[in-house]
Each structure stands twice: as C-alpha cells, then as structure tokens.
Amino acid sequence: MNKKLLSMLSICQKAGKIASGEFAVEKALQDGSAFYIIIANDASENTKKKFENKAFYYKTDCVIFGEKEVLSHSIGKANRTVFAILDEGFYNKIKLYIESDIN
C-alpha cells in the first residue's frame, strides 16, 4: 500500500477530518459531511453491501480498498472497517492515491 496514502490518512485524522467505524460513518453520510467512503477489503460482505448502498443513496463516492488492520493503524485506531473523509481537499488527494494504487 502506498506510504503517501497512509500518511495522508494519518494527517486527515489529526486534522479531525475523518470519521471511522460504522456508527460515525453512517452519521457522516446522513448529515452530508462525508465526501468519500473507504471500506476495507476484509470487511464482512454485509458491511460492504450496507455501506455501498448507503453511499449510493447519499450520492457519495465509495471504494473498497486495503486491509482494515493497515487502514486502522494509519489513523491510530483499532478494528475499523469503514472510513469517511470529511474534507474535499483530503478527499481529492486520497482518491488520487487510491486510484494510482489500484491501477
């Protein structure tokens, strides 16, 4: 996984512009503050489906990417499978890093 991406997620967390965990991400989607949803590859199928559907409903970009342990560690939390980016600038950079890592 791209070190720049993990660093950007860490900075995003320090800036208070990331929500993690199912409850916080669901709330960010509902109140319209989420720009981008990241779901870990190793999340359960139910979790993936639930948040893909919610992202579609709220017209928010969504990606399934990375392992929850690595993503959680990058933001200094444990066992998080879903993340919401709450800032457009961070969203643009993180999306760019994820797309370059996928391709």
CATH classification of the domain holding 93: 3.30.1330.30
Strands 82-85 and 36-39: antiparallel
Q: What is the pTM of this model?
A: 0.93
**Residues sharing a CB contact under 8 Å with residue 37, sequence separation 6 or more, in sequence order:** 25, 29, 51, 54, 55, 60, 61, 62, 63, 82, 83, 84, 85
Q: Residue 19 phi/psi, 5° resolution? A: -110, 140
Write out the residue range of the structural domain in which residue 49 sits.
Answer: 3-102
Q: What is the pLDDT along the chain (103 residues), one digit of tens a residue?
A: 688 889 999 999 999 999 999 999 999 999 999 999 999 999 999 999 999 999 999 999 999 999 999 999 999 998 999 999 999 999 999 999 998 887 6
Number of domains forming the structure of the chain: 1
